[in-house]
Homo-oligomer: A and B are copies of this chain.
Amino acid sequence: MTQHSRLHGLTPADTANILVEALPYVKGFAGKTIVVKLGGNAIDAEVDKALAQDVLLLRQVGVRCIVVHGGGPQIDETLQAFNIERKFVDGLRVTDADTLQAVRMTLVGKVNRDLVAKFNVEAADNPVAVGVSGEDGGLLVARQVKSELGFVGEVEQVRASVLTRLLDEGLVPVVSTVGADRSGQPYNINADAAACAIAAAVGAEKIVYLTAAPGLLEDPSDPDSLIPRLLASEAEDMIASGKIGDGMIPKLTACISAVLEGVPRAHILDGRIAHSLLIEMLTDEGIGTMIVKGGSHADAG
């Protein structure tokens, strides 16, 4: 039948199968919240645009999306421009007052801004992205990790209502992970960990880490060795076994924390594939690696 050849070269049956599969997910996620963590560095303009589309499409069908971003490379650029020297204590980077200032200006005043702009351009007449810093409305209450490291903080409390209020209004919060302690002192907080704390606090259905890898690989050198599904306890064992590459450890650790704190599913997805978020959410198979609760050592505690 000629007229169907226009359907992306797919048969009606192919198309129907995908739709029949997707609609129950659409229904199931309606009204649910997801947290999507992005790195600071754009991969390429096309993929970024696809991600913005995915978030906006999910929002249209009722999914409440929170975007959390990092910004390592951009911070480095700013420090260089300001001629701020990097200091180290026992091999760990120290965040002094000047560095903190530069970090905050970069994350809140640049990376966050660029993301908000990208989403809002995509959203056209209904700009729904809103930048939020962890300091706004006391969203992220921070405490110092270790005095030698200066203004490096960890999350002490999340005031989830700051975000849920925006979600209730149909907006998409884009969060920079600078927090403040109760005296108003700001701290830089690791974005992977902050995303996890936020997901737990808002009762998210899912947290998704977008990375520059296909997911967690059994053998980091073999891209075909992807592990599609992992219990939290198995993930802990893999970290203990030393087989995980350094870059993946904070993501996997945050995934484990998220599921232990009650987020049903945590995902590490390949951010380089356009629309990977949508495919993961709305098809039976999913892509990348999913971590779910089960048999965790911490669990047993």
Contact = CB atoms under 8 A, between A and B. Distances in A.
Interface in A87-136: 101, 104-110, 112-113, 116-118, 120-121, 124, 127-133, 135-136
Given A101-B110, A106-B105, A159-B127, A121 B184 contact: yes
Contact of A3 (B4, B165, B226): B226
In terms of DSSP, what is the predominant structure of the interface of chain A?
helix
Interface stretch (A5-13, A148-156, A233-241): A5-13
A2 B287 CA distance: 10
**What band does the interface of chain A fall in when counting residues whose beta carbon is under 8 Å from B?**
35 or more
Interface of A: 1-4, 6-10, 12-20, 22-24, 26-27, 30, 50, 53, 57-58, 60-61, 78, 81-82, 101, 104-110, 112-113, 116-118, 120-121, 124, 127-133, 135-138, 159, 162, 165, 169, 171, 178, 180, 182-184, 186, 214, 223-224, 226, 228, 273-276, 278-279, 282-283, 285, 287
Given A15-B283, A101-B110, 15 more contacts: A1-B287, A12-B275, A14-B14, A19-B57, A19-B282, A20-B57, A20-B278, A24-B57, A26-B61, A105-B105, A107-B109, A120-B135, A120-B184, A129-B137, A131-B133
